[in-house]
Amino acid sequence: MAASVRRLNHVAFQIARGDRLPSTLTDRFKFDLFASRMTDSVRQLAFRKGAAVFLVNELQRAVPPVPDGTENLPDLLYDAPVPHAVNTACNACFEVDNVEGSCKRLQENGCHVLVPPLEVEDQRGKVVYCVVKSIVGNVRHTLLDRTRYTGDFLPGFQSISSEETKKEDSAGTFFDHITYASPRKSTGQVLRWYEKNFDFKRFLINRHDSADDGFVINGDGMGLRLTAMQYWQCSKVSLTLPSVEKDEPDCKFVVAESLPEQGKNQVDTFLEHHQGAGIQHIALYTNDILCTSRILMESGVQFVSPPPTYYSQFEKAQEIQTAGYDPRLLSKFGILLDTEEEHAKNVFHVGSQNVKDTQRHLLQIFTKPIFPENTFFLELIQRRGASGFGEGNIRALWRSVQAYMDSRELAEHSR
């Protein structure tokens, strides 16, 4: 093991000048802009909703396409620029105990260090960070030690005082999982890289997940392999949220790979439009997915619609009612529900009580792509005791996203 991950600090985007992502996060997704940093070549904006933090790096000029992104902008803090032609989510920043030692061991393992260990400080203390390139496409990881810093975010950023934090639906928000879209036959290599360098371990998605082959759905127009991994923490992590405490890792990582038998699909579309592998979507946890979905829809967020027959199937309608929901209400918002069929080892704790086995349900909904390209999108997820991912939801979500992308490409080709 080269680097011991303590927690996920933030996820960073790189966008072109003038992209609407900053206003989309505040106006539609109800994130708070709480810190910023401005220079002649980059605008860095930090957004927060509950414990989920996004750092948006808006480059004021294009980055030349040099090999491995070796050219660095001297005034870009906590990241390295991506020589990429499209807007992208591209950095998962991990907090670690020893940046210098971790960076040295990663280099010895053959990892490409984009930014060597640097120390940054202000009146609230100091932090040390470095940036390493992941094996997945344009993804990189900032390794950060902020144990000697008491500020709201990071040195070099100015805090932004705003009105009272939006409380309508932010309570309980944190990163549930991050999904990579990866080329065919690359999953094993990705898993080995994260196990060797960050001590990630396999996490079985559901009872149909094979330790060797992952969770495979092949047939009926679907060709997909999902494989999950996670890092472990030694103790409970307080998420600075009054009602959420977890015993398990604060974020899972999922690798999505298309299978060739069913033809081109949404993973292939991502790889084409994104010009390579990368972060396909990020799931945000919410305590009340119905309330959150309603608020976001009213603010202009667009979600993909499940197949119309999803809620009319007798078994599914009965399952939804057994879980305590009205199928018509879930249908109104396009929310999917699955029941976890067997007890998993890792159970979320909500408040101070464990969720009972009889309440092991998973509710999910996907947004449409955030950028003009068919690339990155967000997911809302609510867990009522469930720790994995249900097969029924995966199939329905897959068909929802695929139908939307097919109709979008058809509309673009007909112009």
The pLDDT score that the predictor gives to residue 126 is 96
Q: What mean pLDDT value characterizes the chain?
A: 83
Q: Please give the radius of gyration of the chain, using alpha carbons only, rounded to the nearest integer.
A: 21
Q: Higher model confidence: residue 243 or residue 301? A: 301
- The two structure tokens encoding residue 363: 């509710």
Average pLDDT score over residue span 344-351: 39
Distance from chain centroid for Cα 140: 14
Same domain, 243 and 389: yes
3-state secondary structure of 103: helix
d(CA 308, CA 311): 7
- Of 159, 188, 219, the residue at which a domain comes to its end is 159
CB atoms within 10 A of CB 199: 14
The pLDDT score that the predictor gives to residue 169 is 52
CA atoms within 13 A of residue 224's CA, in its CB half-sphere: 24
Nearest to 268 by CA among 306, 227, 229, 224: 224
d(CA 162, CA 32): 8
d(CA 125, CA 154): 9
266 assigned to some structural domain? yes
- The two structure tokens encoding residue 57: 């790096």
* pLDDT category of residue 351 using cuts at 50, 70 and 90: very low
d(CA 249, CA 200): 10
- CA angle, 196 then 202 then 208, to 5°: 155
Question: Per-residue b/e over 387-403, b at no fewer than 16 CB within 10 Å?
Answer: bbbbbbbbbbbbbbbbe
- Of 159, 189, 223, the residue at which a domain comes to its end is 159
Report the CATH number that the domain containing residue 116 is assigned in CATH: 3.10.180.10
Maximum average pLDDT range among 6-15, 153-162, 263-272, 347-356: 6-15
- Of 126, 159, 192, the residue at which a domain comes to its end is 159
Q: Higher model confidence: residue 9 or residue 403? A: 9
Same domain, 112 and 244: no
Q: What is the pLDDT of residues 281-293, one digit of tens each?
A: 999 999 999 999 9
Q: Which of 12-16, 95-99, 215-219 has the lowest mean pLDDT?
A: 215-219
164 assigned to some structural domain? no
The pLDDT score that the predictor gives to residue 140 is 96
214 assigned to some structural domain? no
* pLDDT category of residue 249 using cuts at 50, 70 and 90: very low
Same domain, 125 and 189: no
Task: Give the CA dihedral 119, 240, 14, 74, nearest 10 degrees.
Answer: -10
74 assigned to some structural domain? yes
Same domain, 270 and 372: yes
62 assigned to some structural domain? yes
Q: What is the pLDDT of residues 94-131, one digit of tens each?
A: 999 999 999 999 999 999 999 999 999 999 999 999 99
The pLDDT score that the predictor gives to residue 221 is 67
391 assigned to some structural domain? yes
Average pLDDT score over residue span 179-196: 94
Antiparallel, parallel or unpaired: β 377-384 and 52-59: unpaired
Same domain, 190 and 259: yes
Instruction: Identify whether the C-beta of residue 49 lies closer than 8 Å to the C-beta of residue 132.
Output: no
The pLDDT score that the predictor gives to residue 223 is 80
- Number of domains the chain contains: 2
Same domain, 139 and 180: no
The pLDDT score that the predictor gives to residue 405 is 63
Same domain, 409 and 356: yes
Nearest to 198 by CA among 240, 241, 152, 143: 143
H/E run at residue 377: strand 377-384
326 assigned to some structural domain? yes
pLDDT at 413 over 90: no
**How is 158-202 classified by DSSP, letter by letter?**
EE---SSPP-SS-TT--EEEEEEEE-TT-HHHHHHHHHHHH--EE
The pLDDT score that the predictor gives to residue 266 is 82
Same domain, 14 and 155: yes
The pLDDT score that the predictor gives to residue 414 is 61
d(CA 100, CA 84): 28
pTM for this predicted structure:
0.87
Same domain, 402 and 254: yes
Residue ranges making up the domain that contains 243? 175-201+231-413
Q: Which of 58-67, 73-82, 101-110, 404-413 has the lowest mean pLDDT?
A: 404-413
* pLDDT category of residue 22 using cuts at 50, 70 and 90: very high
Same domain, 23 and 154: yes
pLDDT at 65 over 80: no
The pLDDT score that the predictor gives to residue 404 is 63
pLDDT at 403 over 50: yes
213 assigned to some structural domain? no
Instruction: Identify whether the C-beta of residue 382 lies closer than 8 Å to the C-beta of residue 362.
Output: yes
Same domain, 29 and 143: yes
* pLDDT category of residue 401 using cuts at 50, 70 and 90: low
Q: What is the pLDDT of residues 125-181, one digit of tens each?
A: 999 999 999 999 999 999 999 999 999 999 999 999 765 545 555 446 899 999 999
d(CA 244, CA 237): 10
Same domain, 70 and 112: yes
Q: Which of 135-139, 216-220, 359-363 has the lowest mean pLDDT?
A: 216-220
d(CA 112, CA 120): 22
Q: Which of 62-71, 126-135, 144-153, 265-274 has the lowest mean pLDDT?
A: 62-71
